[in-house]
Amino acid sequence: MRAWSALVRPFRDRRSRDRTGLVTLSELLDREIAVDPALAAALQAAGSTVNRMPGTVHGQVVQAREVHLPPPSARSLPVPRQLPATIPDFTGRASDLAHLDALLATGDEPGPAVGPPAVVITAIDGTAGAGKTTLAVCWAHRVKHRFPDGQLYVNLRGYDAGPPATPAEVLDGFLRALDIPPERIPDDVEALFRSLLDGRRTLLLLDNANSPEQVRPLLPGSPGCLALVTSRSSLSGLAVTAGAIRVSLDLLPLADAVALLRTIIGAERVDAEPDAVVDLARICARLPLALRIAGHRATARPHTRLADVVADLADEQHRLDELSIADDEPAAVRAVFSWSYRALPADQARMFRLLGLHPGPDIGNYAAAALADVDPRRARRLLDGLVEVHLLEHAARDRYRFHDLLRAYAHERAEHDETPDDRNAATERLLGWYLHTAHAADRQHPHYRIVPDAVPSPRHPLTFANDDQGREWLETERPAIVAAVRHAADAGRHRLAWQLAAVAGCFLNHRGYRDDVGKTGQLGLAAARRIRDRFGEAWMLDLISGPGWLDETVLLRQQALAIYRELGDRRLEAATLSDLGHAYGDLRRYSEAVDCIQQALAILPQFGDQWAEGLALRNLADVHVGLGRFVEAETYCEQALAIFRRISDSTRVALALDSLGRACHGLRRFGEAVDCYRQALSIFRQTDYRGATVETLDNLAQTLCQTGDTETARDHWREALALGEEIGHPRTEEIRARLALRPRPRLRP
């Protein structure tokens, strides 16, 4: 009797807690067995699940003829339904939903209430405002019928204004949801929680986690359960140690972003301004949170054109102010970004905000190292850390980028958290690094490059083993370099602005980026004039003289020539005379062309500048082709070729071969002309000299027509036309007109 009294005492103590309804002894025993292994063992030791108690006892007793103890697998616990309400206008994410659905596939056709065959742990990660919770809740509702024993939900507050939830707090809440009273919760709550879920099909939604350590104690251990975790961190450790399957959310595809705006704003307004809706989606960076805020702002202003809503968001400095909610500031874009930023270690936070000072669309780790004044290895670790928490993303190997709203937030933090001196120092390091590295990479003029002033050497310079590596770097960094020129000019760093434009100009011309040459050259010209740098002004005048109309080219080169004469720089005076002569030749002002180039050839020998002399000879050959003096043109070409081969300048060899091909064409030696053009093309393609490629393809096609090979000629014209359209080459329309004609085959005489 004494033993039985000890066993039933817990039930007697609980009578006051069970006044809300009748509780059977079987149910009470079931609950106590679930949380008290000692009680279960004592009953098991009795030897039978049926116990008889005849006779009479004194005092408070629980009397029953038979007590049947159910087996542990039949324990009865409440069925929690804790999922938050789903958003009725959920839009897009079809591929992500399909990926999640595939996680529960068992290879057969399960019934509607069959859970996964093993415990499944899924981590949905993505940047702040990407819709991780929305997706997780939506999908959890879609599959909750497969988890009939309940769904548990908790906001772990990993990235929130307050402190994160501890595993102990979460487990305490889960156990209460399973009707386990506080006084019956043991110290080892993790083991009890896993025991309660054993054999049950339960879904756990662990929202807004900040680390694997916060999540691990909350994971079920038995088959049939699903743990769905959302986080701004990638939770890589959870994937490694617990086999979690990652689902990383990107920004919405443009079509999905527009569809979401259509759902919020309404089809009529969206259909009335389709271009404005696309602009609105893009200016919101296709970030679901920003799209929802912007969409609801538009809904609140039904008489405002969507184009005006876009205009309100156009100013990057105030865009985050517009993407806020007056009565719910924690839901604003700036607020949700701030929680991620505040969770960063100090060195990562500094790197994040300094990246906001970078003017280009993406950044390499060496440039980031210069910006933050750290070594490249440390820069890569800091950048990768920002990628892990989705404050940055990989653009390519060792290249990183923000989306536009995070860029605006990073710049805002730099303005707020960095001193003006620190911001200026970081920008100077970055621009100086670009200038130094662009100079090292630009090997297009290996024999004739004027370094404007001393190029500052960064702490961690990037070097190139060959021309190909240099060209590849320049191609990759082209948008950043163009943006850096503008940034330097806007920030009043005028010398850096024109110097960077000068160093990058050769490559930009070589690759046929005529618009970029014009933009950077004009910015550099204005910057040089602002500080009255006459040398820089002349250099920029010469740079921008290429992309314009021919009359403008002559005018610009005349101005540059006047400045070099004013400065007494005879070497650059000669080089400019040569270029001016070439421009006169293009205008068929042949007498002036010959005069300018002859003046240049008279000056250059005193400097021993073979490279410039070779260029002048090649320009003189082109003028003589225009004059129809093909024999003289051939002679000048041969002289230029000899020089360029002697100094191993393959690009200039190709240019001279192209000129020689035109001389041979004029002499009706078409076979030799074709050979010259093909040799030149081979070199241009190796060096990716796109502008010259267009011209030589056109020249070759014209010569092939003379030989009767019109089909091959038309193939070359098609290639030239495609490339010319891509780079905006001035000969494009002439080539298009030639293709429109059907030239009759001509036989070689």
Q: Alpha helices of 249-373 — where are they, by DSSP H?
A: 254-265, 267-272, 274-283, 288-300, 306-313, 319-322, 333-342, 346-355, 365-372
Nearest to 392 by CA among 337, 430, 339: 337
Segment 141-186, tens digit of pLDDT: 999 999 999 999 999 999 887 789 999 999 999 998 998 888 888 8
Segment 119-145, tens digit of pLDDT: 788 899 999 999 999 999 999 999 999
Residue 526: exposure state from Cβ atoms within 10 A (0-12, 13-18, ≥19): middle
d(CA 661, CA 671): 9
Segment 338-375, tens digit of pLDDT: 999 999 999 999 999 999 999 999 999 999 999 999 99
d(CA 714, CA 644): 32
Length of the chain: 749
Cα atoms in the Cβ-side hemisphere of radius 13 Å centred on 485: 28
| Stronger pLDDT, 71 or 373, i.e. the higher one | 373
d(CA 541, CA 365): 34
- Cα angle for residues 599, 603, 605 (degrees, 5° grid): 130
Segment 74-85, tens digit of pLDDT: 356 789 999 999
Segment 614-644, tens digit of pLDDT: 999 999 999 999 999 999 999 999 999 999 9
DSSP assignment of 397-466, as one string?
TTEEE--HHHHHHHHHHHHHHS-HHHHHHHHHHHHHHHHHHHHHH--SSTTS----SPPPPPSS----SS
Segment 408-443, tens digit of pLDDT: 999 999 999 999 999 999 999 999 999 999 988 876
Question: Average of pLDDT values for 291-309?
Answer: 93
Segment 205-234, tens digit of pLDDT: 999 999 999 999 999 988 889 999 999 998
List beta partners, residue 124.
Answer: 230, 247
d(CA 631, CA 633): 5
216 close to 242: Cβ distance less than 8 angstroms: yes
Residue 704, both tokens: 């092939």
Neighbour tally for 541: CB within 10 Å: 24
**Does the pTM exceed 0.85?**
no
